[in-house]
Amino acid sequence: MAHLSPSPPKPVAYATPGPGSAPRPAVRSPPRSIIEPVIDHATRAAPARPTALRRAAPALLGYAAVRALGLLVLAVWSAARGKSAYTLLTARWDSLWYARVAGGGYGYEVRLANGDVHSDLAFFPLLPWLERLLAAVGPLSYADAGFVVSLLASLAAAWGIFAVVDHAYGRTSGSTTLGAAVDAGGAAVDAGGAAVDGGRAGLFAVLLWAALPVGIVQSMAYSESLFTALAAWSLYCALTGRWVGAGALALAAGLTRPVGLAVVAAVWTAAVLSFVRNRSTPVPHGARTAPHAPESALRSPARRALGGFRGLGDLGLPGLLGVLLAPLGAAGYVLWVGRRTGDGLFGYFDVQAGWRNGFDGGYAFARFVAAKLTSFPAALAGLGLIAGVALLVRLYVVGVRQRQPLPLLVYSGVVTALALCASSYFGSKPRLLLPAFPLLLPLAAALARTRAARAALVVGGVALVSAVYGAFWLNGSGPP
């Protein structure tokens, strides 16, 4: 270390005396220390950003608390009715089909008296594969393995939802993927002009997703949690230009549920928009593009549709690879089912028809709702369904007005359309809407702008109602 010695004392400076006055010392600042701290102004202006997991920790802890409340209420309710809560979570409805595929492969079917054939080929293979893997390496049954996969996947889904929302609302001043402006403190400003912090919005999006009326499904040996985790992280990768990751996760999502088509569409949308953006912005030879484009650069319609993407560069080989990977999961399984049944491209659709599943544009659902309105008290349920659909449409429209990134709008739009416009069992529709988490962004933003005490009261009340309804539902008709 270099030898430090104090500076010699400086003479005291005197102010110029006026006529007839004695000289007096001039005002001077206090003496400085001989060793002053070194200040990196750039570092002080931009404090170290916490790690991704540390930033998401409050959301993950909140998610775990909400789901623990749901499981506790389910356990108490089931015990009061003489039922096993664990059996309800792991060994009923679709859980049994997945466990059977994990144990014996495909080939099981049930023929009903009306001629319908329920084949296990309707269930996509990724969850059974994971159940078989966990059962092979540990002492778990297939049902136990399905429960473990769902618990872990639900946490991964919560983290992915937080990452997407946190990114969408932006964390750095000058750039945001949701809304056109950022305030001086770096918080995104929504269409209404109110500042929205990305971390708070992500926290409330996760808590709302956990507290959905059918949130208990997230803790069941079903494929919804696994699919939502893969979809959320694929969307995050697409929004941040991680094309190979986006494509690989979309591929896995396509092996999980038929609605994997929504993830593929979102990844392709992000890729097309990135390509259009780069094609419409010629860069001078030798110049480098800034990682965060200024808002003045987002003026053309195509670039506004990007929602202010950050980190999207030229597609190149990684982009092409991601685009090609994305549809392989769903397409591969559908083609395999067609080959196995001998019906070619339409084999999988024939399997779904045996379950009375198909896409009719919502005609069957509309007839179901209309039939409810013809009698009382069933009319109350019909009005509730109409109100629910209106709410979904309203949330989607608000998302469009708030300029959610187009891939999120495409994803939630496809998930919602497939859920509402399919002729599947109508009791399944709330469960089928579970992966459409971008619809919660407007509500999450509103809570993020609310005082903490009031927001906590709202979320706590919703979580309690969800826990009670989930216990009642699972001990009654349950999720088919």
Q: Give the DSSP letter string of 341-400.
A: HT-GGGHHHHHHHHTT--B-TTHHHHHHHHHHTTSTTHHHHHHHHHHHHHHHHHHHHHHH
Residue 43 inside a domain? The answer is no
Residue 30 inside a domain? The answer is no
Residue 159 inside a domain? The answer is yes
Radius of gyration of the chain (CA): 28
In angstroms, how far apart are the furthest CA atoms of the chain? 120
Q: CB count, 10 Å around CB of 9?
A: 7
Distances (CA, A) of 395 to 52, 60, 436: 28, 24, 11
Residues of the chain whose pLDDT is less than 50?
Answer: 1-48, 171-189, 191-193, 285-313
Question: What pLDDT is recorded for position 24?
Answer: 47
Would you say 282 and 300 are in contact if contact means Cβ atoms under 8 Å apart? no
Q: Determine the 3-state secondary structure of 189 from DSSP.
A: strand
Question: What pLDDT is recorded for position 327?
Answer: 97
pTM for this one?
0.80
Residue 7 inside a domain? The answer is no
Residue 234 inside a domain? The answer is yes
CA of residue 260 relative to chain centroid, distance: 14
Residue 28 inside a domain? The answer is no
pLDDT in tens, 148-189: 999 999 999 999 999 999 999 874 333 444 443 333 333 344
What are residue 172's DSSP bridge partners? 175
pLDDT in tens, 447-477: 999 999 999 999 999 999 999 999 999 998 7
Question: What pLDDT is recorded for position 275?
Answer: 84
Residue 209 DSSP symbol = H
Single-letter amino acid, residue 339 = R
Task: Please state the domain count of the chain.
Answer: 1
Cα angle: 294, vertex 300, 306; to 5 degrees: 70
Question: What pLDDT is recorded for position 190?
Answer: 53
Give residue 378's domain range: 53-474
For residues 336 and 332, give the distance between their C-alpha atoms in angstroms, rounded to a whole number: 6
Residue 223 inside a domain? The answer is yes
Would you say 237 and 310 are in contact if contact means Cβ atoms under 8 Å apart? no
Residue 285 inside a domain? The answer is yes
Q: Which of 207, 91, 177 is nearest to 142 (CA)?
A: 91
Question: What pLDDT is recorded for position 1?
Answer: 43
